[in-house]
Homo-oligomer: A and B are copies of this chain.
């Protein structure tokens, strides 16, 4: 909660909103405005958010009065940038990779983190603790999953867990840049960017959120440069022939050898009590998720749509 001293105000027109959407949400999946608008209004939650705005745009200096329930509800996890920077400094870390996380952490995310731990000083598992859309796993359950994963499968001293409140925009590549900017504030030097980072449906190219980092112009004032560089990692999965985790860059085997399951598909299996394929998630994490679903009084129905059947969004 806070106040804003309004210094600028203008009436918002349909053209303004469309302009914003095209500048922020258009990508390789819908390269022309015509293709974009054919599906964006129906299928893009970020576009829907913008188009639903009414009345006026306001701007001005903001004063924060309270951080709400976060500091108490997520004590030890919710952090200001000042706090995470202090922790990294105390640990003597210089190269710090950030993992953006909004779904429960499974082995594909664990593997992204572990690659980062192998080549950096440490990793910051930075998960979204704000409100999500109905059917998604609540933040406290997801934090419990990360706790259990870190406790059982990570070397504690190489990992820091943090949480932050943010609405996903599903802006793919441009949201990748935004995520890296946030993490630079939190003291991270690398932002892990996997396959279809912050994507939705087929709006973006699978690695558009990686390549955009090579395309942004260098600002004249070096103080304004994005210092948090991407740690680009390909699509990750367990492969039976590789006998471990792998990615499209390291695994030469076929689809039939790989354990592939989208977050949406997994939620469906968990909520319906189905068996999860071996090697997809850690038992400790799946137990927490099963308990959550069993405790739900209202049955959650998860609808599958095209893009959710074989992807690995986070």
Chain A interface residues toward B at CB < 8 A: 114-115, 117-119, 152-156, 158, 231-234, 238, 241-252, 279
Contacts and interface: CB of A to CB of B under 8 A. Distances in A.
B153 A252 contact: yes
A157 to B, nearest CB: 9
Contact of A249 (B153, B158, B234, B250): B158
A243 B154 CA distance: 13
Contact of A155 (B153, B232, B248): B248
Contact of A118 (B233, B238, B241, B242): B233
A213 to B, nearest CB: 14
Which 5 residue pairs across A and B have the least CB separation, nearest first? A244-B244, A114-B250, A155-B252, A115-B118, A117-B250
Given A158-B250, A250-B158, A153 B115 contact: no
A93 to B, nearest CB: 13
B118 A152 contact: no
A155 B233 contact: no
Contacts of A152: 252
Contact of A251 (B155, B233, B246, B251): B155
A249 B117 contact: yes
A119 B153 contact: no
Contact of A153 (B117, B154, B242): B242
Q: Is the interface of A mostly helix, strand, loop or mixed?
A: mixed
Contacts of A153: 241-242, 252
B155 A249 contact: yes
27 contacts: A115-B115, A115-B118, A117-B249, A117-B250, A118-B233, A118-B234, A118-B247, A118-B249, A118-B250, A119-B119, A119-B232, A119-B233, A152-B252, A153-B241, A153-B242, A154-B250, A154-B252, A155-B248, A155-B249, A155-B250, A155-B252, A156-B252, A158-B249, A238-B244, A243-B244, A243-B279, A244-B244
A117 B246 CA distance: 11
Given A119-B231, A119-B233, A233-B119, A114 B246 contact: yes
Contacts of A232: 119
A2 B121 CA distance: 46
Contacts of A245: 244
Contacts of A238: 244
Contacts of A252: 152-156
Nearest to A231: B119
Among A238, A241, A246, max chain B CB count under 10 A is at A246
Contacts of A250: 114, 117-118, 154-155, 158
Nearest to A107: B243
Nearest to A190: B119
A154 B250 CA distance: 5
Contacts of A249: 117-118, 155, 158
Nearest to A245: B244
Nearest to A244: B244
